[in-house]
Amino acid sequence: MRSIRLEPLFSMAEMELRRLRHDPFEIITRAVQPILWVAVFGSVMAKIRAFPSVGDYVSFITPGVILQSSTFISLAYGIALIFERESGILKKLLTSPIPRSYVVVGRALAGSVRASTQYVIVLASAAVLGAKIISNPLNLITGYLVLVLACMGFTGLSILIASLLRTRERFMGIIGAITMPLFFASNALYPIEVMPDVIKYVSLANPLTYTVSALRKLLVSNSYDILQETLILTCFTVLAIGAAVKNLRRIIE
Amino acid sequence: MKAIEVRDLVKVYGHEVRALDGVSLDVEGSTVHALLGPNGAGKTTLIRVITTQLKPNSGYARVFGYDVTKESSEVRSLIGYVPQEVSLWSDLSGYENMLMYSKIYGIPREIRRRRIEELLDFIGLSEASGRLVRTYSGGMIRRLEIAIALMRNPRLLILDEPTIGLDPGARSLVWDKISEFRRENGVTVFFATHYMDEADKYADYVTLLNQGRVVSHGTPNELKRHVEGNKVLITLKNNTDSSRLSEVLSSVPGVAISSFDNNCLELVISDVPTRLPAILEKIFVSGYSVSEVKIREATLDEVFIKLTGRRISDESGRMKEVVSVRKMIRRGG
């Protein structure tokens, strides 16, 4: 019986952090858009009191904007595997003694670590812009873990799409087509109650909604009533990564 | 024990491209075995089946007795593999690449650092190890990849076109390191190449592959016997009576005179090492003296042409590919 070693999984996340240290450009540029969402969209909507039910609007959209930026990074992460397919890295990983599922789970974790850097940047900028974020470290850490869980799911989804489409052009096309609708058909910018029925149903099937909801409870309402969200997100992440593991061999054939 | 045993292997891509069309070959342990053939011969496909990346349609391949489809994790634990394409993270340093792979490969923490430093020193990259791989030359990249493949002390080292796109100096440095490691560790080396000189020089055994089939196999010298005879040019000291010498030489078996101009004699001799001394002796005994002997050895390329009607080396299509791969590294892909 061989013992299960987790180090290879974490080493892929470490690899991602090392890449970021050498070249933090993406993290900074990716932070521009969410900061503008909070600063411009947030303050304008707050001023006209568009959604009186949500209380302070800038605080309300901060979790949504964190997700906007980290989901996009997660969903785009699959392109790394397409590049690695064209280079020899994927071949080498698939011929190393680690199980194939490690390649997907490890990279999902890596993509998630990369994406979740937005958590710190957006929270800090939102706080500067007047968002009232719960500063209890336990809430902040729990929120981060929920975000990592969700981003692993989105990265898994991205790896699945990369395995099925296999070229950069097709991949970018699909990712471009799904990210904005995913964002708008969620509770990131407005409460679900104000949506038309059809979009309401879409947003209830959207994992982004549950992530935003959990973060909002933790960071804005100071509530730990996040069991349902966590369960749904766990299912989503397990399914997305499971499907990605199952289809990974397509990327190298 | 056989390091690799391949029997009747067939791999079809889609429905029509028969990349491997019934390949059988054996690689004996502790030898260097080259897979030689032109682009599109099926070399990479065969290597990808042996390294457990692709499932064959029929036939089987075993590595030290383990089946590559049924016992793939055992196979993976025994091999070190360098794919044809660059397999490093170009936005990490050389050291970081080794560190990441050492963790992925499960090299124990206690020996990790020492092992990496030993190997970096061995391949002559200690000084460059802090630089991003993006700044490395093609030869440095290849050496680092080989060091990573050696990190696990594999019993079988599989290299797909290890020196493609490198200049001659970098090529011989790569091979020096492989040979040096082999002398010390007795690892079996299986490599694909379309450089016939490389197969000739570094391999104990060569398998010639063309259009998914094994054309021939053997030691480089055995293969060269397919080309009947080598050309030998003998220059005689004095102007001589050609007819008399022709008569003398025609009595030696396995020798054909292809031309005899002035005092320059061109012969085709099969099995030069044993026959040439006898021929020279005949010439001396008949009272002639020789000023120069040139032997033009058959090349594996000639063997390949003789057996298939094609040349091995056709660089044009391939170079484009290499250039684009190198460009990708520069861009940081």
Q: If you average pLDDT over every residue of chain B, what do you get? A: 87
B265 and B236 in contact (C-beta within 8 Å)? yes
**Domain B230-297, CATH number (from 3.90.1300.10, 3.30.720.110, 3.30.70.100, 3.40.190.10):** 3.30.70.100
What confidence score (pLDDT) does residue B318 get? 52
DSSP result, B187-251: -EEEEEES-HHHHHHH-SEEEEEETTEEEEEE-HHHHHTTS--EEEEEEESS---HHHHHHHHHT
What confidence score (pLDDT) does residue B319 get? 54
- Classify domain B2-224 at the CATH superfamily level: P-loop containing nucleotide triphosphate hydrolases (3.40.50.300)
> Any idea what the Cα angle at residue B94 is, between residues B91 and B99, rounded to 5°?
100
Q: Would you tell me how many other CB atoms lie within 10 Å of the CB of residue A24?
A: 11
Q: Alpha-carbon distance A159 to A148, whole Å?
A: 16
Mean pLDDT of B240-248: 75
Mean pLDDT of B138-164: 94
What confidence score (pLDDT) does residue B313 get? 65
A15: Cβ–Cβ under 8 A, 6 or more apart, which residues? A110, B89, B92, B96, B100
Is the pLDDT reported for residue B135 higher than 80? yes
Tell me where in chain B the CATH 3.30.70.100 domain(s) lie: 230-297
Predicted confidence band of residue B1 (pLDDT cuts 50, 70, 90): confident
Contact B92 A15 (CB under 8 A): yes
Mutation target among A14, A84, A92, A94 for the B interface, most CBs of B within 10 A: A92
Predicted confidence band of residue B200 (pLDDT cuts 50, 70, 90): very high
Mutation target among A85, A87, A94 for the B interface, most CBs of B within 10 A: A87
The answer to whether ipTM exceeds 0.90 is: no
A39: Cβ–Cβ under 8 A, 6 or more apart, which residues? A125, A129
Contact A97 B106 (CB under 8 A): yes
What confidence score (pLDDT) does residue A188 get? 92
**With contacts defined as CB-CB under 8 Å, which chain B residues touch A91?**
48, 51, 53, 81, 83, 85, 87
Tens digit of each residue's pLDDT (9 = 90 or more) over A166-204 = 889 999 999 999 998 999 999 999 899 889 999 999 999
Structure tokens at B213: 């089939």
Predicted confidence band of residue B101 (pLDDT cuts 50, 70, 90): very high
B65 and B78 in contact (C-beta within 8 Å)? no
Does B159 contact A at CB distance below 8 Å? no
Alpha-carbon dihedral A42, A45, A51, A56, rounded to 10 degrees: 50
Lowest mean pLDDT among B43-47, B140-144, B222-226: B222-226
Contact A86 B85 (CB under 8 A): yes
Does B84 contact A at CB distance below 8 Å? yes
Lowest mean pLDDT among A164-178, A208-222, B126-140, B259-273: B259-273
**With contacts defined as CB-CB under 8 Å, which chain A residues touch B48?**
91
A206 and A182 in contact (C-beta within 8 Å)? yes
Residue A137, burial from CB neighbour count under 10 angstroms (0-12, 13-18, 19+) = exposed
Q: How far is A252 from chain B (nearest CA, A)?
A: 8
The residues on A that touch B, with CB distances below 8 Å, are 5, 7-8, 10-12, 14-15, 18-19, 22-23, 83, 86-89, 91-99, 252-253
DSSP result, chain A: -PPP--HHHHHHHHHHHHHHHH-THHHHHHHHHHHHIIIIIIHHHHHHTS-GGGSSHHHHHHHHHHHHHHHHHHHHTHHHHHHHHHSSHHHHHHTSSS-HHHHHHHHHHHHHHHHHHHHHHHHHHHHHTT------HHHHHHHHHHHHHHHHHHHHHHHHHHHHH-SHHHHHHHHHHHHHHHHHTSSSSS-GGGS-HHHHHHHHT-HHHHHHHHHHHHHTS-----HHHHHHHHHHHHHHHHHHHHHHHHHH-
Tell me where in chain B the CATH 3.40.50.300 domain(s) lie: 2-224
Least CB–CB distance from B105: residue in A10, A12, A97: A97
Q: How far is B272 from chain A (nearest CA, A)?
A: 44
Given the DSSP bridges, would you call strands B66-67 and B79-82 parallel, antiparallel or unpaired? unpaired
Q: Where exactly are the structural domains of chain A?
A: 7-252
Contact A92 B106 (CB under 8 A): no
Predicted confidence band of residue B332 (pLDDT cuts 50, 70, 90): very low
